[in-house]
Chains A and B, each alone.
Chain A
Amino acid sequence: MPFIPHTEQEIAEMLQAIGVDNINALFEEIPSHLLAGELAGIPEGMTEMEISRLMHARASQHPQSICFLGAGAYEHHIPSAVWEITTRGEYYSAYTPYQAEASQGTLQLTYEYQSMMTAMTGMDVSNASLYDGASALAEAVLMAVRGNRKSKSRKILVPTTVHPAYRKTTHTIVRGQHIELCEVAYDATSGVVSLDAIKQRAEAEGGDVTAVVIQQPNFFGNLESVDEITDWAHEHDILVIAVVNPLTLAILQSPGEWGATGADIACGDGQPLGAPLSAGGPYYGFICCKQELVRQMPGRIVGRTVDLDGKTGFVLTLQAREQHIRRSKATSNICTNQGLVVTASTIHMSILGARGLENAASACHANTVSLVAQLSAVKGVDCAFNSPYFHEAVLKLSKPASEVLAALADRNILGGYDLSMSYPELGSAILVCATEMRTEEEIGAYAKALAEVIA
């Protein structure tokens, strides 16, 4: 039975009613040179066996490139158990469930996720997740504006070492609320933002600043002076928003430990914790904060409680912040999120454990040190900055970055991120990354290929 509901007879009747001989007569006014003619390239249908044979043949033609590309999303080892457990029917939902009587398992898992995130960030509270790292920063900015009642300016200092896509997304989300993002330039030698530059920008804005954003490690991979910036900000009643890669917290100081008093809000992208690169998503965003700001927190929060019989149970809590109660004055319109990716992330963290995460983070750093040493030894390649870095670094090239990266891709090497669009002042420069997935042989192969390409 055809899926087109009109029978030949009905079509004939309709054509007759409007007085044309055939359907093509309806398209006569289209000039003949614009008609595509027969679509000869579309084959007849294939059986499942034929199509799977074809797809296997096509897949084997696709080269497995070696990835030295990071810039916000990273290739990490994900134990097979993570997605095997995550995709069980009991967990298979993108939503944060609100029916406590029907969802104790998922609610407990989200509660464990929140506990892990607060432990890693050194913060008091975590929500049940947001969409991605970029929108998490936008929510953090909105939270800071609501939470910092000593500041009237709605001005946020944002160093240009914060991820360019995060800055754009945040601008798009907050500009309608008359919040101004004031950029602070980084130091050309160190590739980090100096406290002096932040102070100067604050003074240029008249002194009243609501919050300062610090990304650690920053977009270039470099380590910012988070302690002195945090202390200065708090002396001036400025809230501190930390943008962090959660994996790095296994070995770096947590935002809660920045300076004497710690950052006020920590946010970022959860992708490095169990989400595959997968052509750009889905990933998830996280946001954590100090207890004082909990009522400014967007999204759902799972709490632990006891039922009438005194048994432990899990429920959504602090719902008075949310849109179904606060309507237009809700902290955010986010109510659902990336629940399934968060489930994977929680299982990933529990399988790796604190030591596994620390090992992965240390291996990332060690591999990147080796990568930078071998690549910068190539003639025509130089380190752009002299700061300590985590698992990414900027290299300046003597040939145009786009040509070099294209030539490397021909050799099945994803050589890095071309910085020329977002940072034209760097000239030809790329951001390179080596996670724990890269071997010494692969790093050596990259150095050899780069030497050939750039010669």
Chain B
Amino acid sequence: MSEIPSELMYTKSHEWVRLESDGTATIGITDHAQELLGDLVFVELPEVGSDLAAGDACCVVESVKAASDVYMPITGEIIEVNDMLVDEPETINDSAFDDGWLFRVQPSSEVEFDDLLDADTYEAEIAD
């Protein structure tokens, strides 16, 4: 069973969102997602400065057996990307919720957080 930290918010498409104290949000893919993908070999990160809407495909994670889009959980501007993943994409396999974060977003509005799932709901979602 994969780990699902209770302090994070989730999407049905397996992204996690952590609201930081400065109002920004850090985003990654869940431990469950990395398990499904297998050994990651490449990550195509979004461009810093781009404005994206919730649901936009913004990032690609590629494993030895599949390539998958990552979708914006919330609307906002990309303010930082995890450059370390360019050379060490396997970090996502080792630490999906921590060192393997993908990018940080300056959210355009807080309303949308209501659309995200809490840990229990996400756990029920992936149990199906």
Chain A residues with CB under 8 Å of chain B are: 149-150, 295, 320-321, 325-326, 329
Cβ distance B75 to chain A, nearest Cβ, rounded Å = 18
Which of B42, B47, B62, B66 is in CB contact (< 8 Å) with A149?
A: B47
Contact B44 A320 (CB under 8 A): no
A326 to B44, CA, bound (A): 14
Contact A329 B69 (CB under 8 A): yes
| Segment 29-53 of B: residues with Cβ below 8 Å from A | 42, 44, 47
Q: B residues within 8 A CB of A321?
A: 67
Q: List 18 A-B contacts (CB under 8 A).
A: A149-B47, A150-B47, A295-B42, A295-B44, A295-B62, A320-B42, A320-B62, A320-B63, A320-B65, A320-B66, A320-B67, A321-B67, A325-B65, A325-B66, A325-B67, A326-B67, A329-B67, A329-B69
A149 to chain B: closest residue by CB: B47
Cβ distance A148 to chain B, nearest Cβ, rounded Å = 10
In this complex, which of B42, B66, B67, B69 has the most chain A Cβ atoms within 10 angstroms of its Cβ?
A: B67
A295 to B60, CA, bound (A): 11
Cβ distance B124 to chain A, nearest Cβ, rounded Å = 28
Q: B residues within 8 A CB of A295?
A: 42, 44, 62
Cβ distance B9 to chain A, nearest Cβ, rounded Å = 26
B61 to chain A: closest residue by CB: A320
Interchain pairs with CB closer than 8 A, number: 18
Q: B residues within 8 A CB of A325?
A: 65-67
B42 to chain A: closest residue by CB: A295
A307 to B67, CA, bound (A): 24
Known: A295-B62, A320-B42, A325-B66; 15 extra A-B contacts, CB below 8 A, are: A149-B47, A150-B47, A295-B42, A295-B44, A320-B62, A320-B63, A320-B65, A320-B66, A320-B67, A321-B67, A325-B65, A325-B67, A326-B67, A329-B67, A329-B69
Cβ distance A5 to chain B, nearest Cβ, rounded Å = 51
Cβ distance B43 to chain A, nearest Cβ, rounded Å = 11
B41 to chain A: closest residue by CB: A320
In this complex, how many residues of chain B approach chain A with their Cβ under 8 Å: the count is 9
B45 to chain A: closest residue by CB: A149
A224 to B42, CA, bound (A): 37
A329 to B71, CA, bound (A): 14
Q: B residues within 8 A CB of A326?
A: 67
Cβ distance B92 to chain A, nearest Cβ, rounded Å = 15
A325 to B42, CA, bound (A): 15
A326 to B69, CA, bound (A): 10
Q: A residues within 8 A CB of B42?
A: 295, 320
In this complex, which of A320, A325, A326 has the most chain B Cβ atoms within 10 angstroms of its Cβ?
A: A320
Q: A residues within 8 A CB of B65?
A: 320, 325
In this complex, which of B47, B62, B63, B69 has the most chain A Cβ atoms within 10 angstroms of its Cβ?
A: B62
A294 to chain B: closest residue by CB: B42
A311 to B24, CA, bound (A): 50
A99 to B42, CA, bound (A): 24
A326 to B60, CA, bound (A): 11
B57 to chain A: closest residue by CB: A329
A325 to B67, CA, bound (A): 7
A329 to B67, CA, bound (A): 10
Q: A residues within 8 A CB of B44?
A: 295
Cβ distance B14 to chain A, nearest Cβ, rounded Å = 17
Using an 8 Å CB-CB cutoff, how does the interface string of B92-104 with A read, 1 for contact, 0 for none?
0000000000000
A-B CB proximity, top 10 nearest: A320-B67, A320-B62, A149-B47, A326-B67, A325-B66, A325-B67, A295-B42, A320-B66, A295-B44, A329-B69
Q: B residues within 8 A CB of A150?
A: 47
A150 to B47, CA, bound (A): 8
Q: A residues within 8 A CB of B62?
A: 295, 320
Q: A residues within 8 A CB of B47?
A: 149-150
Q: A residues within 8 A CB of B63?
A: 320
Cβ distance B31 to chain A, nearest Cβ, rounded Å = 21
A296 to chain B: closest residue by CB: B44
Q: B residues within 8 A CB of A329?
A: 67, 69
Using an 8 Å CB-CB cutoff, how does the interface string of B58-83 with A read, 1 for contact, 0 for none?
00001101110100000000000000
A120 to B44, CA, bound (A): 29
A321 to chain B: closest residue by CB: B67
A150 to B62, CA, bound (A): 22
B47 to chain A: closest residue by CB: A149
A321 to B47, CA, bound (A): 20
A320 to B67, CA, bound (A): 6
A178 to B124, CA, bound (A): 42
A300 to B30, CA, bound (A): 31
A329 to B63, CA, bound (A): 15
Q: A residues within 8 A CB of B67?
A: 320-321, 325-326, 329
Q: A residues within 8 A CB of B69?
A: 329
A360 to B66, CA, bound (A): 45
A398 to B104, CA, bound (A): 68
